[in-house]
A and B are shown apart, each in its own frame.
Chain A
């Protein structure tokens, strides 16, 4: 059986990839995908720990997170479409009207 440490390490790698993607990419879609990556790294960690401790709490959390992520994607994609319609761009660096 694959040791839990691996899962956690994979999860950490995925999370770091996701975080880097969020911080470095400018395309809103890619940004979004990176966020998904980070969420799912979290999911992975939760599932791994659930298996490790033989408890179902982690699974339960994962279901919630997946539901939230699905809703988030729906709203987020709609927002991105709306932004593209007005700005003709999904480069998030173009969206800094809210600067102080």
Chain B
């Protein structure tokens, strides 16, 4: 039990080993082994997550911090007293995310084995999936913001790799896919930059990046009140108490209780496990000492014994808020409250990138270019929730800043409505789901904005279940329609070619091998106009898809009902009891917008059901679509079950008829998820059930579905005679529908605002600055001509003039001198003899002259 939390290292290494095996040996192992290894890595991770869940359950939900073996420290700047360790945090929030990632991830791994069957890069797909799971686990297990950033970037990379997985598709599709991948990367880069700014601000302000230091208690209030019987004590009465606690939680940070449980350990009965902080392989568990040996080791119920500098970022922020400290930034200083607002705003921008909110959501609909299991795992269930996870993790700060909370609520709620509206006018089955995802993520962000942190996490979980289900259902449909297209084609052309059913099974490609190219045409298996009447052809897919749709629309008693209702109820309470005008406005704003968003959700989902599954098949492909293989339908059933029961994770108290007068509560308990999260998520709170709101929201959803049914079903066909949407054909709604179909011109606006100026800037830099200025002017005129001038100078006056001149002068002098000198050299002996003679005579004369003078 001591080293139990150290298991968390395994959960990281197992998917990474799976990745290594698949990336290096996957091709040799073959498809089935590749799939088995990939799925096993994820399933083993899930088992470890379950063990950790069990550990937390038996240790009063007290967090443990585990250092990675062998690499305890990552960054250590002694002069700045700044260290970042490879520490992992096992607490209720991270374990929730771990179970979600590995659990839904495992199901998707299994589904992928069916969906990707026959793909040329089958093993690579599994390698990417495992790598993604690995990075996502780093993101959620890290005990500091830098590790979270590592995971954050890592999942971004995997997202890029998986969106562009079919970069080599023929007929321009490959370009479309890789462009979508690039778009995701670039849009996320904007958010990542903001997150980096937030991290820099944290370092300046707090001098650390750790969430909580070992020994620190996240939720002091909870630690004080909490015994080991946590789940029991929040019985029928406690559930109510939580919602009361939520309203005056304003003074929360200042009511740190000064007592130590160690002193009154006997009196409380259980000081058990208050500071179960495990560190490294040598996990120190104080709980046993505190609980059983009484006073041998003090057990703290608060953090007062820790100096401010020793606290993690959240603890420090709370202390600094109490004293109203000024943060010194060199040339200027800011009050700590403003710094927190800045940090949270930067984090919000980061979250808008990863979690696809206005204004950075544009990448997510395009990300549907990736294989459907990737869309399901990354772009619906897990990665896009990273932003919500981050904000829930930093709930202390978001709670502190009303300004940020309001902006968060505004962005989340308006994204929910905007994306829901756009989804009304889409033809592509996956694109509808993509906008639906954006919209639902907006619900979660809005929940964070109104302080409903546990509701946000609850919706995150249930949404992961049913959105993964819907995506995989759509994948099954696409797969079947593509298949049906081949079958129809084969029946028409290739009766005698031996293109039987079996040969098509063998060529179960996705546009990859030549077989596909042979009859490549404009048929789009993702276009809902090409579907219809699939309910009869694909009963399992249809049944699960219907469940997912109802869950997403928020129909009782499916998962979406409970989670959406909790957000709405929280918004309503926030609106009435917010405490300040900004909070109240935020609450009502969120409530109103989310109700509209919920109505849109029900409407477009029922439109999709009508177009895809009901009515008559509109193409031969749909007419011939077969049900998918059990490898794909079994995961669908598993997720469908989760979509049904997922909502029971966090049943509200006293929901009357909605919980069958307490029957469900008796089985599943109340506020289970909230109670589980509270020790970690300081400001999480359970919410009182609002029966009228729940009825209203359900009626709204049912009404929207009824209207949708009247428009798209109800005797008329899902499309008009000329293949248009009924709303499009109706002059009253045609304009609005076209607006939704054009996706509100977001892409065009971004193209106009950013892409085109950027391309123009690029062209300017390339053509004018680089080519015209540097090449044509600077290189040619300045450098080339300058060198020419210098060369000219050196060659002509210096080389030819001075150096050559000197050399030639020497020659010329010799020439001049030699001219007269060569004359006497006649070569005739006689001449020399005469000269000789004359010389002798002269000598004699000279010798004799003195004699003559005498």
Partners in one complex: yes
Contacts A100-B821, A100-B822 given; does A95 touch B827 at CB 8 Å:
yes
A88 CB-CB contact with B under 8 Å: no
Contacts A19-B837, A23-B834 given; does A100 touch B829 at CB 8 Å:
no
Across-interface contacts of B837 in A (CB, < 8 A)? 19, 23
B844 CB-CB contact with A under 8 Å: no
Number of interface residues of A (CB under 8 A): 13
Checking A92, A97, A99 against B830 with a beta-carbon cut-off of 8 angstroms, the contacting residue is A92
A47 CB-CB contact with B under 8 Å: no
Q: Which of chain A's residues 32-62 have a Cβ closer than 8 Å to chain B?
A: none
Report the minimum CB–CB distance from A86 to chain B (whole Å).
16
A98, B833: Cβ atoms closer than 8 Å: no
Most-contacted residue by chain B among A31, A98, A100 (CB, 10 A): A100
Q: What does the 1/0 interface line of A70-97 toward B look like (CB < 8 Å)? A: 0000000000000000000000110111
Report the minimum CB–CB distance from A83 to chain B (whole Å).
11
Across-interface contacts of B834 in A (CB, < 8 A)? 23
Interchain CA distance A31-B833 in the complex, whole Å = 11
Report the minimum CB–CB distance from A48 to chain B (whole Å).
19
A99, B833: Cβ atoms closer than 8 Å: no
Contacts A19-B837, A23-B837 given; does A98 touch B830 at CB 8 Å:
no
A14 CB-CB contact with B under 8 Å: no
Interchain CA distance A22-B826 in the complex, whole Å = 17
Contacts A19-B837, A23-B834, A23-B837 given; does A31 touch B829 at CB 8 Å:
yes
B828, A92: Cβ atoms closer than 8 Å: yes
Across-interface contacts of B825 in A (CB, < 8 A)? 98-100
Interface of B is mostly: helix
Across-interface contacts of B823 in A (CB, < 8 A)? 100
Interchain CA distance A24-B829 in the complex, whole Å = 11
Most-contacted residue by chain A among B821, B833, B834 (CB, 10 A): B833
Interchain CA distance A98-B821 in the complex, whole Å = 13
Q: Looking across the interface, which residue of chain B has its beta carbon closest to that of A19?
A: B837
Interchain CA distance A100-B815 in the complex, whole Å = 12
Q: Which of chain B's residues 823-852 have a Cβ closer than 8 Å to chain A?
A: 823-830, 833-834, 837
Report the minimum CB–CB distance from A12 to chain B (whole Å).
13
Interchain CA distance A99-B826 in the complex, whole Å = 4
Checking B821, B826, B833 against A23 with a beta-carbon cut-off of 8 angstroms, the contacting residue is B833
Number of interface residues of B (CB under 8 A): 14
Across-interface contacts of A99 in B (CB, < 8 A)? 822, 825-828
Most-contacted residue by chain A among B823, B824, B825, B830 (CB, 10 A): B830
Report the minimum CB–CB distance from A7 to chain B (whole Å).
19
Q: What does the 1/0 interface line of B790-831 toward A look like (CB < 8 Å)? A: 000000000000000000000000000010011111111110
Q: Looking across the interface, which residue of chain B has its beta carbon closest to that of A93?
A: B828
Interchain CA distance A93-B828 in the complex, whole Å = 6
Across-interface contacts of B827 in A (CB, < 8 A)? 95-100
Q: Looking across the interface, which residue of chain B has its beta carbon closest to that of A35?
A: B833
Across-interface contacts of A24 in B (CB, < 8 A)? 830
Q: Looking across the interface, which residue of chain B has its beta carbon closest to that of A34?
A: B833
Interchain CA distance A22-B835 in the complex, whole Å = 12
Checking A22, A96, A97, A100 against B833 with a beta-carbon cut-off of 8 angstroms, the contacting residue is A22
Across-interface contacts of A92 in B (CB, < 8 A)? 828-830
Across-interface contacts of A96 in B (CB, < 8 A)? 826-828
Q: Looking across the interface, which residue of chain A has its beta carbon closest to that of B825?
A: A100
Report the minimum CB–CB distance from B826 to chain A (whole Å).
5
Q: Looking across the interface, which residue of chain B has its beta carbon closest to that of A28?
A: B829
Across-interface contacts of A22 in B (CB, < 8 A)? 830, 833
Report the minimum CB–CB distance from A76 to chain B (whole Å).
12
Across-interface contacts of A98 in B (CB, < 8 A)? 825, 827
Q: Looking across the interface, which residue of chain A has its beta carbon closest to that of B828?
A: A96
Across-interface contacts of A95 in B (CB, < 8 A)? 827, 829
Q: Looking across the interface, which residue of chain A has its beta carbon closest to that of B823?
A: A100
Q: Which of chain A's residues 12-34 have a Cβ closer than 8 Å to chain B?
A: 19, 22-24, 31
Interchain CA distance A86-B456 in the complex, whole Å = 121
Interchain CA distance A100-B824 in the complex, whole Å = 8
Q: Looking across the interface, which residue of chain A has its beta carbon closest to that of B824?
A: A100
Across-interface contacts of B830 in A (CB, < 8 A)? 22-24, 92-93
Interchain CA distance A97-B827 in the complex, whole Å = 6
Interchain CA distance A99-B833 in the complex, whole Å = 15
Q: Looking across the interface, which residue of chain A has its beta carbon closest to that of B818?
A: A100
Report the minimum CB–CB distance from A61 to chain B (whole Å).
18
Report the minimum CB–CB distance from B191 to chain A (whole Å).
96
Interchain CA distance A98-B837 in the complex, whole Å = 20
Interchain CA distance A54-B823 in the complex, whole Å = 49
Q: Looking across the interface, which residue of chain A has its beta carbon closest to that of B821?
A: A100
Report the minimum CB–CB distance from A45 to chain B (whole Å).
14
Please list the residues of chain B having a beta carbon within 8 angstroms of any beta carbon in chain A: 818, 821-830, 833-834, 837
Closest 6 CB pairs of A and B: A100-B822, A96-B827, A100-B825, A99-B827, A98-B827, A92-B829
Interface pairs (13), CB distance under 8 Å? A23-B830, A23-B837, A31-B829, A92-B829, A93-B828, A93-B830, A95-B827, A96-B827, A97-B827, A99-B826, A100-B818, A100-B822, A100-B824
Please list the residues of chain A having a beta carbon within 8 angstroms of any beta carbon in chain B: 19, 22-24, 31, 92-93, 95-100
17 further A-B contacts with Cβ under 8 Å, apart from A23-B834, A99-B822, A100-B827, are A23-B830, A23-B833, A23-B837, A24-B830, A92-B828, A95-B827, A95-B829, A96-B826, A98-B825, A98-B827, A99-B826, A99-B827, A99-B828, A100-B821, A100-B822, A100-B823, A100-B826
